[in-house]
Structure 1
Amino acid sequence: MRILTFSTLYPNPTAPHFGVFVENRLRQLLSSGEVQARVVAPVPWVPGDWAVLGGYARMARVPLQEIRHGIDVLHPAYPQLPKVGMNLHPYGLAWAILPVLRRLIASGFDFDLIDAHYFYPDGVAAHFLARKLGKPFVVTSRGSDLVTIARDYAFPRRLIQAAAQAADGLITVSKSLQDELVALGIARERSVVLRNGVDLEQFQPGERAAARAQFGVTGRVIASVGHLIPRKGNEFIIRALPQLPDVSLLIAGDGPQRQMLTELAAQLGVAERVHFAGVVGHAQLAQVYSAADILVLATGHEGWPNVLLEAMACGTPVIATAVSGCPEIVTAPVAGRLIPDREPATIAAAVSALFEALPERAATRAYAEGFGWEPTTQGQLALFRDILARRRQAA
């Protein structure tokens, strides 16, 4: 099978961790030997002075083409108007990418289907592109596309519903996201749940003392990993620290809340116990998990939080808010604990309780071994085969 992976959510040289879960799933699929793939991972282009906003100037430095892990990746630009152009994003994306796909077909890669990731604008644009090119398309929902965009914005919601109804296949990374599709009026049997897996070779228990020395932490250590944005809830973890006087917090990641979090730690008198590691490469995250006794994810919502599986694969139990896909991951005491909210007192109580009954690292690792990639890979292959078989029969 020849597939085109299409997503604005994909790593590139200026944002190597961006959408790494999309790349990981594709790499596992290619390892089956049954698929050839090209990736079209567009990057936004904004006009004039708007280019200085956010990360747009950085995205302008992304090369037009690169090879990542042996995969040919194209990064064509598409127009985007910050703040005011949300309703137009899928149209601008499809308009810019259609000639790119036609050239790709003309060059000899006449793909069998479009495998799109994230519903808006990517899945909606894939709907337009598939219709123009006469190709089947599949959309994978990954979290905020349904939990935030489809809930909060009326016009994008209608476009998402139309794309979902027209798609030849729908994938969600958790049952909770499948429930969101059903709430949009999409029959449950139209979608399949194929969760993200964890790389059990990359993420393994490491030597704890060495990992702690690397990040300068000692004693009881909890960790938080992810972009420093409000949804991730790092503020609540820091506010819990005054109730945990013997616990240090290791934060891996960067983002717009970095300064606020630094100032908050100082205001609460816990600055000496909050360690900001900055951006840690995906290949080095195992050291972060190995340095910690517990990973805390005080998230507002997630599709399928990979950090939970990565931590457990390193033998580190987790504490996570019981939202979205988290309850589908943390289902046994050796995995960790779920909390009903992300209030500082709730987090502090859960951390204290888990420290009193920490599972053996080997037991947590064994639990994570049930989340390898193979079932997801086989599920994709079965779905793609079925779609192409139905196409041949219709023809």
Structure 2
Amino acid sequence: MHILTLATLFPNSARPNFGIFVERQTAALAARDGVEVTVISPQTVPPWPLSRHHRYRTIATLPEHQSWHGLDVYRPRFLHIPGIGVHWQPRLLARAVLPLVRRLHRERPFDLIDAEFFYPDGPAARIIAHALGLPYSVKARGADVHHWGQAPHTREMVVQAGRDANGLLAVSSALKAHMVALGLPADNITVHYTGCDQQRFAPQDGTALRAELGITGTMLICVGALIARKRQNLIIETLAILPDATLVLAGAGDAEASYRALAMRLGVSDRVIFAGSLPHDDLPRWLSAADVMVLPSQSEGLANAWVESLACGTPIVISDAGGALELLTIPVAGRIADANPQAIADAVNAVLALQPDPLAVRACVAQFNWDRNADELHRHFQRILGC
């Protein structure tokens, strides 16, 4: 079985945490006997002079072909104009990638195309698959369907890519229901929960890190990009109701400046630590040190940060987004809170009052591992290929 994995969401040396769950899933699949995977991770590049922006200069330095943590990865560039022309992305991506795919397909034929994000990967995979006469699968992860499946200029492409696919994956049952509501066939959608490195993400003593950070009271942590959809502003506002709590924001993004200004305006800036985008392998000690992980996202599929926090024995307080109800099945795991500071504060206090045993919290996600994830993905591809 030779799989072409098409993934705009995939780590590189400039963004080592970007889509790391796609990398881990792909590596686990590639480790299966009889499976070969080639990854194509297209990189957007705007026209000059926008291409001189530091964000895109780093892309220009990436090798176009390399072995990345044991995976064979190609990174072709395709044109993108930031802020406009989003509806052109699938065609531009497919046009840039097709010559490479044709060459690789001649050298070692692919059996199936695996698109790891619904937009622009899904519609682009549809174009490439039709050109080569191959079956294709698309995985939905959350915002890729919630946003691009609703946006007027991209909705039709998302739906068409989903309807024509030979198989679809969704990271939660809730996301599958959303896809069906968009008009995608329910019998073609398989729920495919994420994995987690259960050896790396495990409870550990966080005393030293808390001392290093100068935290003596409650430690809250939020793991996620600092963007409007994650709504970290609500957690900052919650600090006014939790006077002994300190919040660690583990992530980076466009909203950081506004979040810093909000913390200053509310007089809680001394209790908000902007930790930046932490190395993924360093996350377990930060999660273990925290009392609660809080993530009041507007939309999610089933966030890896939820699973990783629970695996570290740290309960979570999250919004009713995506697969939240599928994960929080017992009280020690955490609470689902309405999207307002008082509700979040009440949920945090309720979790703290339980004094949950980290091992009991961890047991909630024992089934989330990359071996199980890879086995299910392998079976999904076998069904499509009839083998």
Aligned equivalents of 2:214 and 2:3: distance in 1? Answer: 45
Secondary structure of the structure 1 residue equivalent to 2:332: coil
Displacement of 1:278 after TM fit? Answer: 1.3
Aligned equivalents of 2:36 and 2:224: distance in 1? Answer: 31
Q: What are the equivalent positions in structure 2 for 1:1-395 lying under 5 Å apart?
A: 1-52=1-52, 55-106=55-106, 108-153=107-152, 155-339=153-337, 341-389=338-386
Q: Residues 111-170 of structure 1, C-alpha deviation per residue, up to 9 Å, x if partnerless? A: 1111111111111000000000111111101111211111122x3111111111111111
Look up the equivalent residue of 2:61 and give its one-letter code: R
Q: Residues 227-273 of structure 1, C-alpha deviation per residue, up to 9 Å, x if partnerless? A: 11111111110001011011111111111121221221121111111
Aligned equivalents of 1:216 and 1:137: distance in 2? Answer: 51
- Please, which runs of 5 or more residues in structure 2 have no aligned partner? none
Residue range with higher mean Cα deviation, 20-29 or 128-137:
20-29
Whether contact under 8 Å (1:112, 1:135) holds in the other structure is yes
TM (norm. structure 2) is 0.96
Aligned equivalents of 2:236 and 2:274: distance in 1? Answer: 12
Secondary structure of the structure 1 residue equivalent to 2:9: coil
Q: Residues 60-98 of structure 1, C-alpha deviation per residue, up to 9 Å, x if partnerless? A: 332212211111111000111222211111110000000
Displacement of 1:49 after TM fit? Answer: 2.0
Look up the equivalent residue of 1:207 and give its one-letter code: D
Secondary structure of the structure 2 residue equivalent to 1:337: strand
TM (norm. structure 1) is 0.94
Aligned equivalents of 1:174 and 1:53: distance in 2? Answer: 37
Aligned equivalents of 2:385 and 2:121: distance in 1? Answer: 21
Aligned equivalents of 1:377 and 1:123: distance in 2? Answer: 20
Aligned equivalents of 2:164 and 2:234: distance in 1? Answer: 41
Change (3 A) 1:11 1:42: same
Displacement of 1:372 after TM fit? Answer: 2.1
Look up the equivalent residue of 1:32 and give its one-letter code: R
Whether contact under 8 Å (2:202, 2:311) holds in the other structure is yes
- Please, which runs of 5 or more residues in structure 1 have no aligned partner? 391-395
Displacement of 1:319 after TM fit? Answer: 0.4
Aligned equivalents of 1:235 and 1:267: distance in 2? Answer: 12
Q: Residues 18-47 of structure 1, C-alpha deviation per residue, up to 9 Å, x if partnerless? A: 111111111121233331111000000111
Displacement of 1:214 after TM fit? Answer: 4.2
Aligned equivalents of 1:110 and 1:266: distance in 2? Answer: 57
Displacement of 1:346 after TM fit? Answer: 1.0
Displacement of 1:54 after TM fit? Answer: 8.1
Look up the equivalent residue of 1:128 and give its one-letter code: I
Secondary structure of the structure 2 residue equivalent to 1:33: coil
Q: Residues 205-244 of structure 1, C-alpha deviation per residue, up to 9 Å, x if partnerless? A: 1112023234443321110111111111111100010110
Aligned equivalents of 1:347 and 1:293: distance in 2? Answer: 14
Look up the equivalent residue of 2:19 and give its one-letter code: G
Aligned equivalents of 1:234 and 1:270: distance in 2? Answer: 14
Aligned equivalents of 2:300 and 2:168: distance in 1? Answer: 18
Whether contact under 8 Å (2:332, 2:351) holds in the other structure is no
Aligned equivalents of 1:197 and 1:116: distance in 2? Answer: 18
Whether contact under 8 Å (1:217, 1:275) holds in the other structure is no
Residue range with higher mean Cα deviation, 267-276 or 126-135:
267-276
Look up the equivalent residue of 2:232 and give its one-letter code: N
Secondary structure of the structure 2 residue equivalent to 1:370: coil
Whether contact under 8 Å (1:217, 1:250) holds in the other structure is no
Aligned residues: 387
